[in-house]
A and B are shown apart, each in its own frame.
Chain A
């Protein structure tokens, strides 16, 4: 169809008067995009791959020496890096699970005839539209032990959210859940409203109870779209930086991307940090692949 729609230029058009052909116009749109992608995405990707095999430091003028897989070996044998990965994994699990439970729950509540449904949905989506940095700064105030509204509302006195090493990671996760549950809610809502009503009627006739209906009808039918939400949120949570960086500086909240940032721009171990970035990339791709495999299996029917 697209090729059919591409007709001869109108001889009166400006492009025609300038002597532009369809091909020229097509290239005028595509070439800048491709150039941008190559310069800002693909080139750095390959360039950093090269650096990951060297001892390059961006802070000095010393030439980069090729060190082979030494960076990777050092990183994978470093117990501190593994602690960072463990923190990240804990954060991903808590945060994504929280978002799915809250988001899917709210979607279930909204998936019925209620007054002001559109308005409520829009308002619930607001956190998602804020900037990460703004959310981080706001929640820092909300969590404040002396004047924060959270302690006041929950009657927790001077409970330390962010300076308590055991609590800080959960505090970051709670903020992330607050911010991104609406995303899961939105996708779940789309999935839920796509489940045909007559299937629920059939289940009622078949004498299925509400829990049985939920686990055997609702959940399996929403699973593919819920899976997509989970893939997105897992990837994002794995890379999380701003929220954790702004909210606290506890060693227990040093997720892998904060470690990467420190390694690259505070310790200036450029080569090493490139290697770490590659390890992260491989992990994210691997985790996402597991989900995508599962998603395809779910979608098969």
Chain B
């Protein structure tokens, strides 16, 4: 049973504040992924929880007691590093047994646990090798084994599969998920890869420039981003975002993304929900799958010209010309046969997001 809590955590490197008033509650057994660009403070936060960095203000609580003044060894937390940090002069067996020997576990007991964890990670036949003779994926397995072997209160992982190639990453991702389900230990996982975050996390913590942006399940973060940063950081391809001009046309409203475009139709109830942003300072965001595309002219659809087609196999990403700008739509593969073709498109009102231009905050409009 391990809960981790951050309360008002602040951290400076010189005059540069890397963690700004961070508050976070992590429940027992939860898989939390911290997501953000490099330099956003996610790794520093992780290292602060581990005890490798000090914090300047605030509290870090593990199971309700403050640990920010304790050494890492007294926090009983395991960590997997991006560089794996295997001990190069020891065999795989000795590496995994290190945390047990360091705390003077009897060698019979240690041996049993090392072999058990090696079995779980399927590295039993590598136990006598040295790390230098291992592949990247196996090194990662050993690093995870070393972290799991002493049944820590919590597991911290700092971009553990960032150094592997794409195929291996996918494999290891599934493996980490499997292990978490099996072990059920509270896990905090840091990554800059949003696919990794979406696929692994119970909840995602998105950080930007030391500030926590949003905490939520993958569905919440993807479907209801709280601000522009989250909206554009999560999801690939990136969400279309444009300044919006709202025109009231009686029965419905039209939103113009560009002075020259014919405008996209929205239901009239939108007007009352925009809290005065209809006059100006409004941005509209819509993911590529929120752009509905059709070959025939339909009510509410506007004709647009396809400018770039990116075939991705399972689907295509088509750039449609809107006035002088562009919006990207997701279509079935081969839907738009060639560049220059006219198609009809509309924005699905249920998948549109509205943001305040100044603060970048979502207006929380759900149509």
B83 pairs with A212, CB closer than 8 A: no
A196 contacts across to B, CB distance below 8 A: 83, 85
A301 pairs with B132, CB closer than 8 A: yes
- Nearest chain-B residue to A212 (Cβ)? B102
CB distance from B104 to the nearest CB of A (A): 9
**A209-B102, A221-B88, A221-B89 known; A204 vs B76 contact (CB < 8 Å):** no
B230 touches A (CB below 8 Å): no
A201 contacts across to B, CB distance below 8 A: 52, 81, 85
B85 pairs with A207, CB closer than 8 A: no
A220 contacts across to B, CB distance below 8 A: 89
Report the bound CA distance from A204 to B102 in whole Å. 10
A217 pairs with B72, CB closer than 8 A: no
**A205-B77, A207-B76 known; A216 vs B88 contact (CB < 8 Å):** no
Q: Could you tell me how many residues of chain B have their Cβ less than 8 Å away from some Cβ of chain A?
A: 26
Report the bound CA distance from A199 to B88 in whole Å. 9
Task: Provide the B79-114 mask, 1 if CB < 8 A to any CB of A, else 0.
Answer: 101010111110000000011001100000000000
- Nearest chain-A residue to B89 (Cβ)? A220
CB distance from A222 to the nearest CB of B (A): 11
B89 pairs with A206, CB closer than 8 A: no
B103 pairs with A207, CB closer than 8 A: yes
Partner of A206, one of B88, B99, B130: B99
- Nearest chain-B residue to A223 (Cβ)? B89
B40 contacts across to A, CB distance below 8 A: none
B315 touches A (CB below 8 Å): no
B78 touches A (CB below 8 Å): yes
A208 touches B (CB below 8 Å): yes
Report the bound CA distance from A24 to B86 in whole Å. 53
CB distance from A283 to the nearest CB of B (A): 31
Report the bound CA distance from A206 to B73 in whole Å. 7
- Nearest chain-A residue to B103 (Cβ)? A207
**A221-B88, A301-B89, A301-B132 known; A207 vs B81 contact (CB < 8 Å):** no
A207 contacts across to B, CB distance below 8 A: 72-73, 76, 99, 102-103, 150
Instruction: Give the one of A201, A209, A221 with max B CB within 10 A.
Output: A201
Report the bound CA distance from A205 to B73 in whole Å. 6
Partner of A204, one of B73, B87, B150: B73
A208 pairs with B88, CB closer than 8 A: no
Report the bound CA distance from A278 to B102 in whole Å. 49
B71 touches A (CB below 8 Å): yes
- Nearest chain-B residue to A197 (Cβ)? B85
Report the bound CA distance from A209 to B76 in whole Å. 13
B146 touches A (CB below 8 Å): yes
B73 contacts across to A, CB distance below 8 A: 204-205, 207-209
B50 touches A (CB below 8 Å): yes
B72 contacts across to A, CB distance below 8 A: 204-205, 207
Task: Provide the A188-205 mask, 1 if CB < 8 A to any CB of B, else 0.
Answer: 000000001011011111
CB distance from B142 to the nearest CB of A (A): 12
A198 pairs with B81, CB closer than 8 A: yes
Report the bound CA distance from A203 to B87 in whole Å. 9
B79 contacts across to A, CB distance below 8 A: 202, 205
List B150-193 residues whose CB lies under 8 Å from chain A.
150
B50 pairs with A205, CB closer than 8 A: yes
B85 pairs with A301, CB closer than 8 A: no
B76 contacts across to A, CB distance below 8 A: 207
**A201-B52, A301-B132 known; A208 vs B89 contact (CB < 8 Å):** no
B52 pairs with A199, CB closer than 8 A: no
List A213-240 residues whose CB lies under 8 Å from chain B.
216-217, 220-221
**A204-B71, A204-B72, A208-B98 known; A199 vs B85 contact (CB < 8 Å):** yes
Report the bound CA distance from A208 to B78 in whole Å. 12
B77 pairs with A206, CB closer than 8 A: no
CB distance from B98 to the nearest CB of A (A): 5
User: A-B pairs with the 7 shortest C-beta distances?
Assistant: A208-B102, A206-B99, A202-B85, A207-B73, A198-B85, A205-B79, A204-B72
A-binding residues in B (CB < 8 A): 50-52, 71-73, 76-79, 81, 83, 85-89, 98-99, 102-103, 130, 132, 146-147, 150
14 CB-based A-B contacts, threshold 8 Å: A201-B85, A202-B79, A202-B85, A202-B86, A204-B51, A204-B72, A204-B73, A205-B52, A205-B78, A206-B78, A207-B99, A207-B103, A216-B87, A216-B102
Further 13 A-B residue pairs, CB within 8 A, beyond A196-B85, A207-B73, A207-B102? A201-B52, A201-B85, A202-B86, A202-B146, A203-B98, A206-B150, A207-B99, A208-B98, A209-B73, A209-B102, A212-B102, A221-B89, A301-B132
B-binding residues in A (CB < 8 A): 196, 198-199, 201-209, 212, 216-217, 220-221, 301
